[in-house]
């Protein structure tokens, strides 16, 4: 009889204890639902001893609530730990995934705010958390985290993130959707594939097209190399490039990246070799010829530089920098001519030499006139107009001078 009473008593205690656990959990949830997050947290903490002796189902619900509270209070790492504990204790996966999605959104929103307020260090760490939550689908946020780390000047952290991106061979290629609005013949970008597919069926739109963005991998490798260089580790910078190229020897983006690193390291000969290799693979790329023109000019190889600039203009007649650099290259010898003219005396031989130099100088100017006129025709470039006006003035071409002066006055 006594044994029966003891068992009944213990059963009542167990039922009462279980009721108390559910009551405290219910009350904590009410605080959370009403936005009283600290009150909910305090109740969970003060009831810790009760929950510690509960079954896994209750414990899972407690940890689940902790996760929701920490999400709302932006204690993101605690939120992740809480949701992980809840999962280990048998939480419902659908409910858990829904809250984790909310957590990701909250972290991203907070990181965006940090970036906008130039708190780049915190933004980088938060975006890394988003990646850690779901590495398979959230690599883009690790890419953003690396950029934020660079902006915070934390090069070691940025390098850590970029190396992860390199090792997982992250490319970040996205599909962009475009369609033309018939009412105004304007092409617009569509934010989602679903909307794009709907608009394709509409008579109000035409010319639907899809376009893939370029791979981010060459940029990632380049940034790794640049960071190594900034850290004074030039050998590591070049090794990073060579490693990437070994697995992608035909990737023009990586070849150009290698060329840029050589340029950063002031190894202009290696730069030229890399750019020449890139041109072999993309012989109709005007930017490659322009870059080779720049470096050839710096190396004093004026004829080669001129050839490259002219080829760049041939491939892309709208490339303003190629015109300006070509003119600058032609006029590069002018100062030497002027210096010699100013050093001459008044003897007959000096006067003859002066006249020769004057003609040579004028020939340089005349050579630049059609190049500048072509540039002005496509862009009304202020620098080009001013340069051509001065040339006309030096050549004594008053109609040309006034034409450029009037054009300059109109634009200014």
Residue-wise pLDDT for 184-210, tens only, equals: 888 999 988 999 899 888 888 999 999
Which of 212, 240, 271 is the C-terminal boundary of a domain?
212
| Cβ pair 217, 171 in contact under 8 A | yes
Q: Return the pLDDT at 21.
A: 65
The 10s digit of each residue's pLDDT in 89-135 is 988 999 999 999 999 999 999 999 999 999 999 999 999 999 999 99
Q: What is the mean pLDDT of residues 142-150?
A: 97
175-181 vs 186-190, strand pairing mode = antiparallel
- Which two tokens mark 271? 């730069």
Residue 14: pLDDT band with limits 50, 70, 90: very low
What's the domain range around 180?
A: 175-212
- Judge whether residue 27 has pLDDT over 50: yes
Please state the rounded mean pLDDT for residues 162-178: 93
How far from 326 is each of 272, 289, 295, 389, CA to CA, in Å?
A: 18, 12, 13, 17
Task: For residues 55-75, give the mean pLDDT.
Answer: 90
Q: Note the pLDDT of residue 232.
A: 84
106 vs 268, which has greater pLDDT?
106
Alpha-carbon gap, residue 395 to 389, rounded angstroms: 10
Spatial CA neighbour of 287 closest among 256, 323, 312? 312
8 pLDDT more than 80: no
Mean pLDDT, the chain, whole residue set: 87
Q: Is pLDDT above 70 for 218? A: yes
Mean pLDDT score, 258-281:
83
Looking at the DSSP bridge assignments, the partners of residue 365 are none
Rounded Cα gap, residues 295 and 293, in angstroms: 6
- Total domains, the chain: 3
| SS3 at position 50 | helix
What percentage of the chain reaches a pLDDT higher than 70?
94
Q: Is residue 297 part of a domain?
A: no
β partners of residue 186 = 181
Q: Is the Cβ–Cβ distance between 69 and 32 less than 8 Å?
A: yes
- CA-CA distance, 408 to 237, in Å (whole number)? 47
- CB distance 106 to 76 below 8 Å: yes
CB atoms within 10 A of CB 145: 29
pLDDT digits (tens, 9 = 90+) for 28-56: 889 899 899 999 899 888 888 777 777 88
Q: Looking up tokens 């189902």, which residue turns up?
A: 57
**Does 75 reside within a domain?**
yes
pLDDT of residue 58: 86
Query: Do the domain assignments include residue 324?
Result: no
CA 160 – CA 287 distance, rounded (Å): 32
The pLDDT of 281-294, averaged and rounded, is 89
**The predicted structure's pLDDT at residue 267:** 83
Q: How confident is the model at residue 20 (pLDDT cuts 50, 70, 90)?
A: low
- Please check whether residue 57 lies inside any domain of the structure: yes
Q: Rounded to 5 degrees, what are φ and ψ at 300?
A: 85, 10
Please report how the helices 320-330 and 348-379 are oriented relative to each other, as an axis angle in degrees rounded to 10.
180
Domain boundary among 116, 138, 158: 116
Q: Residue 237: pLDDT band by 50, 70, 90 thresholds? A: confident
At 187, phi and psi to the nearest 5? -80, 135
Domain termination site, one of 67, 96, 116: 116
* C-alpha distances in Å from residue 226, one per residue of 148, 214, 244, 298, 402: 16, 20, 14, 22, 49
Contacts of 89 (CB under 8 A, 6+ apart): 56, 57, 59, 60, 63
| Same-domain pairing of 24 and 100 | yes
**Residue 77 falls within a domain, yes or no?**
yes
Tell whether 161 is covered by a domain: no
Distance CA 66, CA 89 (A): 14
Average pLDDT over residues 289-313: 89
Q: Identify whether residues 31 and 101 lie together within a single domain.
A: yes
pLDDT at 13: 41
In a domain, 245, yes or no: no
- Minimum mean pLDDT among 11-15, 152-156, 158-162, 350-354: which range? 11-15
Residue 130: predicted pLDDT: 96
What mean pLDDT do residues 157-168 have? 96
Q: What is the pLDDT of residue 1?
A: 42
Cβ-based neighbours of 220, under 8 Å, separated by 6 or more = 143, 146, 162, 165, 166, 170
Q: In angstroms, rounded to a whole number, what is the distance separating the alpha carbons of residues 297 and 304?
A: 8
Domain of 68, CATH number, reads 1.25.40.10
Can you tell me the distance from the alpha carbon of 134 to that of 123, in angstroms, rounded to the nearest whole number? 17
Report percent pLDDT > 90 for the chain.
50
Rounded Cα distance between 99 and 67, Å, is 8
Residue 130 counted as domain residue: no
Euclidean distance between CA atoms 340 and 351, whole angstroms: 12
Closest C-alpha among 286, 326, 274 to residue 304: 326
Tokens representing 313 are 């203009």
Per-residue pLDDT reduced to its tens digit, 371-394: 999 999 988 889 999 999 999 998
Close Cβ partners of 322 (under 8 Å, ≥ 6 residues apart) = 286, 289, 290, 293, 309, 312, 313, 316
Helices (H), 117-251: 120-133, 139-151, 155-167, 193-200, 217-230, 234-247
Q: What is the pTM of this model?
A: 0.66
Residue 18 — pLDDT band, cuts 50, 70, 90? very low
Q: In the structure, what pLDDT confidence band is assigned to residue 26 with cuts at 50, 70 and 90?
A: confident
For residue 69, give the nearest of 77, 59, 79 by alpha carbon: 79
């Amino acid at each position: 009889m006594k044994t029966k009473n003891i068992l009944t008593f213990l059963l009542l205690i167990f039922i009462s204890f279980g009721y108390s656990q559910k009551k405290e959990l219910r009350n904590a949830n009410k605080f959370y639902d009403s936005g009283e997050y600290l009150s909910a947290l305090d109740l969970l903490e003060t009831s810790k001893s009760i929950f510690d002796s509960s079954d896994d189902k209750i414990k899972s619900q407690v940890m689940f609530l902790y996760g929701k509270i920490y999400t709302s209070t932006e204690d993101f790492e605690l939120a992740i730990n809480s949701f992980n504990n809840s999962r280990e204790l048998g939480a419902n996966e659908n409910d858990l995934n829904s809250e984790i999605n909310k957590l990701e959104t909250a972290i991203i929103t907070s990181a965006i705010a940090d970036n906008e307020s130039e708190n780049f260090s915190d933004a980088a760490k938060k975006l890394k958390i988003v990646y850690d939550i779901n590495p398979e689908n959230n690599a883009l946020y690790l890419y953003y985290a690396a950029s934020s780390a660079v902006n915070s000047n934390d090069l070691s952290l940025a390098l850590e993130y970029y190396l992860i991106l390199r090792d997982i061979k992250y490319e970040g290629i996205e599909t962009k959707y475009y369609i033309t609005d018939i009412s105004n013949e304007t092409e617009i970008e569509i934010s989602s594939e679903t909307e794009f597919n709907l608009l394709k069926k509409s008579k109000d739109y035409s010319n639907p097209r899809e376009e893939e963005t370029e791979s981010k991998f060459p940029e990632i490798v380049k940034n790794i190399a640049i960071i190594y260089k900034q850290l004074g580790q030039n050998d590591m910078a070049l090794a990073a490039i060579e490693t990437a190229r070994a697995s992608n020897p035909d990737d023009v983006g990586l070849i150009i990246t290698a060329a840029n690193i050589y340029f950063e390291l002031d190894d202009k000969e290696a730069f030229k070799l890399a750019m020449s290799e890139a041109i072999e693979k993309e012989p109709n790329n005007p930017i490659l010829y322009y870059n080779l023109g720049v470096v050839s000019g710096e190396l004093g190889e004026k004829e080669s530089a001129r050839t490259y600039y002219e080829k760049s203009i041939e491939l892309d007649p709208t490339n303003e920098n190629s015109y300006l650099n070509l003119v600058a290259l032609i006029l590069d010898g002018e100062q030497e001519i002027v210096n010699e003219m100013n050093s001459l005396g008044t003897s007959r031989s000096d006067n003859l030499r002066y006249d020769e130099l004057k003609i040579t100088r004028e020939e340089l100017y005349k050579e630049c006139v059609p190049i500048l006129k072509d540039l002005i025709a496509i862009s009304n470039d202020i620098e080009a107009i001013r340069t051509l006006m001065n040339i006309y003035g030096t050549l004594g071409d008053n109609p040309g001078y006034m034409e450029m002066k009037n054009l300059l006055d109109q634009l200014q």
